[in-house]
Structure 1
Amino acid sequence: MRIHPWLWLSLGLGCASARPGPVPSPVVSQVRAPLLGQVLGAEGATLPGARITVVPRAPSWDVRTDAPVALTLSGPEGRFEVASLPPGAYGLTAVTPGGVLIVGEPLKVEAGQPVRPIELREGSESPGLLEGTVVDEVGAPVPGAKLRIVRPGMPFDDVALLEASPEGRFRVRSGGGAHNVVASAPGFTPLMQQVAKTGEPVTMRLERAADETMSRAAVAWMKETGVPLKSVEAGQGLEDLAPLKQVLKDTRVVALGEATHGTREFFQLKHRMLEFLVTELGFTVFALEENFAEALAFNEYILEGRGDPRHLLRGSAWDTEEVLALIQWMRRYNEEPSHPKKLKFYGVDMQFSPEAVARVNAYLAQVDAAYGAQVQEPLAVLALPRSGFSRQPEERQKEVGARLDLLAQRFEAERARYVRQSSAAEWAVARQNVRVLRQFVGKVLQEEEELRDRAMAENLLWILEHEGPDTRAVLWAHNGHVQRGPGEWREHAAGRHLADALGPSLYVFGMAFHQGAFLAFNMDAQPPPGRKGMVAFSVPPEPEDTLDAALAATGWPVFALDLRALPRAGPAYEWWRRSRRAHDIGFIYSDGGYPSLAQIHALRLYDGLLFVERTTAARLNPR
């Protein structure tokens, strides 16, 4: 996973997907200014009775729970007023009496300056229909449920508030693309559900909150069945991990998630799990949330000792002491003559990858020089720095995509000749580099983030096929990518695609923590000295009703938990089958705070959990 500003959206959500903690006020001064505005239809007709929502455009504002700055209705001639706003940045939306969602331009309020009047006007295009019903667990409507319609953005979101009808129904017209709908009601756990496109009715099924009996039973079950671990560090012996051997004996892929992309103990524990899976269960492939082509150089180092891993990690999100130690351990393992089955290192990602372009060009120069010369120019567009391809006209992007399609066809048509001039393995890897370039272009053209998850799953399945039918692999990625069910920010994560293909031979570990520090990219536009780039952040212990607090209630600082062993009846099951908040922090964060908790349905998303009570930040390698 390389660091590029234009990837912040995918890194924050894919990687997910971070949203967290105490919400600082956007107020920087007590000097306030009134806001006047008007709501108009597409043809300019005034629209009284529209519901206007004002929210802060601040990374710390949680779209799921935080109160808006103001809610008001438009009066005669569609006019509305917000008495006073403190200095800061704001987002405005309106839902008209006809149910059309209008998103206004961002508003900036400066101390001592008047606020320009706002006009919220319906668009001329025909918006899509977003409708659904809020029900309880048995399907009964929840009348008067509160709803938030969210048009996701990074780092801000556009949010409109409305209420469900007495029958629990809601209906709003909005522009195309993905939306998130948040539903809440007294006595129920709030639910956020992604709607990939308008036009398909959704059912929001709210869960009643667990009671104290269920909570006590859940903690008791964890204490009875959990596996306490003596250390997160590799090289400490494997006796305490022995109970997991029976749990994982029939798996082909073990996916190791992480609640942040920058936690030292997560990285160390993944290293220890890899050591266990390799030495005790015969796993031979390590697959990382890293671009396929860029990871090939790591594989060359691990197999042959070529290159310097410190240099290879530079520019990567994984440039830490912990990941370097893991790579060096893999090399030492392969150097040992008593290990005939060598470890392989692969990447499964398919984002901006100049290395893929370079490797395809080099292979064509070897096997088909004339044709390679013809495709060098269109392929070069894919290697332009700073999101150059994404800024190309759509026609140019489609042209490059078409050339890649032709190149893929040529690889198939000329396979025998290419293999004669190289080898079957070299042909397969070069063909896979073409494939990941096509995946990248497809994601840019279709602007669907979940295409990345589907591609990562496809790439891991290709690795398994390429390495042979008995190959067993460890996958390292964020919790949001490895989850095997729909979550708040992803309907179809890579883990869900893998679960469809592999069934129970896929075992997904989510990783959780209760409190502590982590490394992340500071998304603030003007961070103070020493706080630019990758820096350490921390979060306090979370409330008792969170998953992380319940895991901490076992009293174990580090442990593993097999959720497949949970009885499917009784109070402990009733607790676990409900969703609850847990840390979910991706690659970016903010000094001003950033919602760190997401609603997690652990039993649906994971087969097991790895928990660390207190964490520290991953350690960057010296530059």
Structure 2
Amino acid sequence: MRTTASTLLLVLGLGCSPAHLPPQTRPPAPTGPLLTGLVRGADGAPLDGARVGLVPFVPSWNPRTDAPVGLVPSGPDGTFSFGPLAPGTYSLSAVTREGTVLFTKPIEVKTGEPEAPGELRVPGIRVSWDATVVDEAGARIPGAELRVVRPGMPYDDVAFPPAMAPGLFHLETPREGAYVLIASAPGYTTRMHQVARLGEPVMVSLERAADEAMRQAAVEWVKQSGLKLQSVEAERGFEDLERLGPVLQDTRVVALGEATHGTREFFQLKHRLFEFLATRRGFTVLALESNFAEMLDLDDYVLTGRGDPAAFLKGETWDTQEVLELVRWMRRYNEDPSHTQKLRIQGVDMQYSPAAVARVLAYLEKVDPAQVATLQAPLAPMTEPSARTFFRLPQERKEEIRTRLDTLSERFEREREPYTRRSSPGEWTLARQNLRVLRQYLGHVLHEKDGERDRSMAANLLWLLDHQAPGTRIAVWAHNGHVMRGPSEWKDMPMGRHLAQALGPALYVLGFAFHQGAFQAFNMDPNPPPERQGMVEFSVPPSPEGSLDDTLARVGWPLLAVDLRALPRSGPAYEWWRRTHLTHDIGFVASDQGAPSLSSVRPLECYDGLLFVERTTRARPNP
């Protein structure tokens, strides 16, 4: 690891478009402001040869494939210029000859309103590291290109470092921060790679793009080995699903993914699959990508019939008619006295949770009332319906809350015996778990550990396995990006990878894919019209030719399932399935401005099986 104390200044300004050519020789001049700047070194001298890039801060700009607005070197006097530019918000990056990666804050470009000159100063101490782009044999790839992405909300910063040698990039970055690399080369499949530890060498391996023969072999294998599903609807029988029985015979956890958080057919298929798992394979728990505490009332409804399930779903991602029908089916199942093993619905997430705070304080009121008075004021910011109050707290105040929760956790362990006498072993265990998810959330917010959310969800699912009856089998419902066995583009250790390390082949991961259609999502645009605010319908066109979704559509079945564990481990079909392919990947948010909807996945590395829907519709919100 090498550090440096040099400093880089980036001075920015907006000017007017130059117009000094004689009228008879000058073409029509484009209009709009210029973005100009100056790159300086540590000693204040102009810095020549820095590679400066400009990208738009708009949802439609894809950091994987789209060209920057401009990419220019700084001149001998350290200056650079972009434009004329359309009004809007931009992100500026610079990579020095030494490989120092530098980003600005968002820059607002307005016609007739010059941007005041500004500067960006990198930390005095940085870490140096090399990124190498290689083929599958480990040889560096001539002509490889690299993009350095600093993930952000709502948009990402992107820098464009030059190669120091074919396939070799030297980079310098701050000690802290998250970075993702996008590597590409002619004839190879573009790949995103999360940087796990700054300061350590990174190697990104690219695969040769799959050819048409491999793709056709993949299609033929699905036609021969896949399951042509008859319906997405539950309570229609299992004749077309019976072949899944032997596949899932020895599994303890079946993970059900989804390519969006708002697709009717995905939700209906999950209902149907859970019905199959419960009635044919003895699964009794459905665990959702929802907060642990917020699901407890819904679990009580499924067990006892108390309360209104529609009210318990209010505010959840799953507040849809399809999920409500599934919950009511679970209740009907439990009402049948012949079903001695009762179904449960649980949450494994650990995000902002006023319900967890309320349950911990209610338990303490019963077993240790003196503690409640000391905790109510410190924890008050975490009891508001919205997380805004909590997020606006200064960092030291959040640290204080974290310390309070850590101290309370120690007290729970120390006072376990008297607490249990005043309540019951089950009540103590449940209260401690609610406290645990609060501490997980604080760790996530305070960035104590990279990937804390996925690590915590996996830990909470394993906790459920440990605290149910021996042999309990669980189906977990979450996004594809959480359930996958292998690394995703934006995270090295999704929940499914943690579970795979703990459970091995006893985990079966079913990814969900679709070719085209509609879904619902939260509109992330800053000022949408009233009719487009909140959860609204979006749609996407067919996935591009050669993608995972397009290849499955070639099979010609509107609904299908495929068991990737049955794939032969050699031959052209195997070669296609093991490679990286584009697929629809949409979470909770989308944009009317056309946010990218595709990401890359290695199906054979990430999934044990796949469910595919050719055309989708929007999940139906509850009234």
Whether the TM-score (by the shorter chain) exceeds 0.5 is yes
1:198 equivalent in alignment to 2:198 = yes
1:383 is matched with 383
Q: Deviations over 1:111-144 (max 9, x none)?
A: 3x15437555442432232421110010111123
- 1:449, distance to aligned residue in structure 2 (A): 5.8
2:20 is matched with none
| Distance in 1 of aligned mates of 2:228 and 2:78 | 62
Gaps in structure 2 of 5+ consecutive residues: 1-29
| Distance in 1 of aligned mates of 2:393 and 2:152 | 22
Q: Deviations over 1:488-530 (max 9, x none)?
A: 0110011111111111000000000000000000000111231
Worse overlay, 327-336 or 83-92: 83-92
1:499 is matched with 500
Worse overlay, 194-203 or 498-507: 194-203
The CA RMSD measured in Å over matched residues stands at 1.5
| Distance in 2 of aligned mates of 1:97 and 1:408 | 51
AA in 2 matched with 1:589: A
SS of corresponding position for 2:130: strand
SS of corresponding position for 2:272: helix
2:14 is matched with none
| Distance in 2 of aligned mates of 1:292 and 1:115 | 50
1:89 equivalent in alignment to 2:89 = yes
Q: Deviations over 1:356-391 (max 9, x none)?
A: 010011111112222333333323232244332333
- 1:34, distance to aligned residue in structure 2 (A): 2.1
> Taking structure 1 as reference, are residues 511 and 314 closer, same or farther at Cα in structure 2, changes over 3 Å only?
same
Q: Deviations over 1:145-204 (max 9, x none)?
A: 111111111211111112323341101112321101111111001111011331111101
| Distance in 2 of aligned mates of 1:83 and 1:271 | 54
2:148 is matched with 149
1:136 equivalent in alignment to 2:162 = no
Identity in percent: 58
- Contact kept, 8 Å, 2:233 with 2:268, in 1: the verdict is yes
| Distance in 1 of aligned mates of 2:129 and 2:586 | 29
1:248 equivalent in alignment to 2:267 = no
| Distance in 1 of aligned mates of 2:387 and 2:444 | 17
1:70 is matched with 70
1:322 is matched with 322
- Contact kept, 8 Å, 1:350 with 1:440, in 2: the verdict is yes
| Distance in 2 of aligned mates of 1:119 and 1:81 | 15
AA in 2 matched with 1:142: I
1:125 is matched with 124
1:20 is matched with none
Map 1:178-217 to 2 at 5 A: 178-217=178-217
Gaps in structure 1 of 5+ consecutive residues: 1-29
- Contact kept, 8 Å, 1:144 with 1:163, in 2: the verdict is no
2:446 is matched with 445
Map 1:459-474 to 2 at 5 A: 459-474=460-475
Map 1:296-311 to 2 at 5 A: 296-311=296-311
1:53 is matched with 53
SS of corresponding position for 1:409: helix
SS of corresponding position for 2:142: coil
SS of corresponding position for 2:90: strand
Q: Deviations over 1:382-410 (max 9, x none)?
A: 22443323332333222222221222122
- 1:447, distance to aligned residue in structure 2 (A): 5.9
- 1:82, distance to aligned residue in structure 2 (A): 1.8
- Contact kept, 8 Å, 1:35 with 1:117, in 2: the verdict is no
Map 1:81-480 to 2 at 5 A: 81-111=81-111, 113=112, 115-116=114-115, 119=118, 121-175=120-174, 176-384=176-384, 385-446=386-447, 450-480=451-481
| Distance in 2 of aligned mates of 1:389 and 1:125 | 32
- 1:250, distance to aligned residue in structure 2 (A): 0.4
- 1:417, distance to aligned residue in structure 2 (A): 2.1
> Taking structure 1 as reference, are residues 408 and 65 closer, same or farther at Cα in structure 2, changes over 3 Å only?
same
1:14 is matched with none
Q: Deviations over 1:434-462 (max 9, x none)?
A: 10011011111226561000000000000
1:558 is matched with 559
AA in 2 matched with 1:572: A
Worse overlay, 477-486 or 31-40: 31-40
Worse overlay, 539-548 or 76-85: 76-85
- 1:98, distance to aligned residue in structure 2 (A): 2.0
- Contact kept, 8 Å, 1:257 with 1:479, in 2: the verdict is yes
| Distance in 2 of aligned mates of 1:183 and 1:520 | 30
Higher Cα radius of gyration: 2
AA in 2 matched with 1:502: L
- Contact kept, 8 Å, 2:405 with 2:435, in 1: the verdict is yes
SS of corresponding position for 1:220: helix
1:33 equivalent in alignment to 2:26 = no
- 1:611, distance to aligned residue in structure 2 (A): 0.5
Worse overlay, 422-431 or 451-460: 422-431
SS of corresponding position for 1:495: helix
- Contact kept, 8 Å, 1:36 with 1:118, in 2: the verdict is no
- 1:209, distance to aligned residue in structure 2 (A): 0.6
| Distance in 1 of aligned mates of 2:322 and 2:123 | 54
| Distance in 1 of aligned mates of 2:615 and 2:129 | 42
| Distance in 1 of aligned mates of 2:278 and 2:258 | 20
AA in 1 matched with 2:72: T
1:16 is matched with none
- Contact kept, 8 Å, 1:37 with 1:117, in 2: the verdict is no
| Distance in 2 of aligned mates of 1:344 and 1:410 | 30
1:574 is matched with 575
- Contact kept, 8 Å, 1:262 with 1:519, in 2: the verdict is yes
- Contact kept, 8 Å, 1:232 with 1:272, in 2: the verdict is yes
Alignment coverage as a number of residue pairs: 592
Report the TM-score, using the length of structure 1 for normalisation. 0.93
- 1:105, distance to aligned residue in structure 2 (A): 2.8
SS of corresponding position for 1:239: coil
| Distance in 2 of aligned mates of 1:408 and 1:122 | 41
Q: Deviations over 1:229-265 (max 9, x none)?
A: 1001101111110000010010000000000000000
| Distance in 1 of aligned mates of 2:117 and 2:149 | 21
| Distance in 1 of aligned mates of 2:120 and 2:422 | 63
Map 1:462-611 to 2 at 5 A: 462-611=463-612
| Distance in 2 of aligned mates of 1:254 and 1:185 | 37
Q: Deviations over 1:339-361 (max 9, x none)?
A: 11001111000110000010011
> Taking structure 1 as reference, are residues 117 and 407 closer, same or farther at Cα in structure 2, changes over 3 Å only?
closer
SS of corresponding position for 1:240: coil
| Distance in 2 of aligned mates of 1:180 and 1:456 | 23
Larger RCO: 1 or 2 (CA < 8 Å, sep 6+): 1
| Distance in 1 of aligned mates of 2:94 and 2:272 | 52
1:8 is matched with none
SS of corresponding position for 1:221: helix
AA in 1 matched with 2:566: A
- 1:87, distance to aligned residue in structure 2 (A): 1.9
- Contact kept, 8 Å, 1:351 with 1:440, in 2: the verdict is yes
| Distance in 2 of aligned mates of 1:583 and 1:137 | 26
- Contact kept, 8 Å, 1:42 with 1:123, in 2: the verdict is no
| Distance in 1 of aligned mates of 2:198 and 2:358 | 40
- 1:109, distance to aligned residue in structure 2 (A): 2.2
SS of corresponding position for 2:545: coil
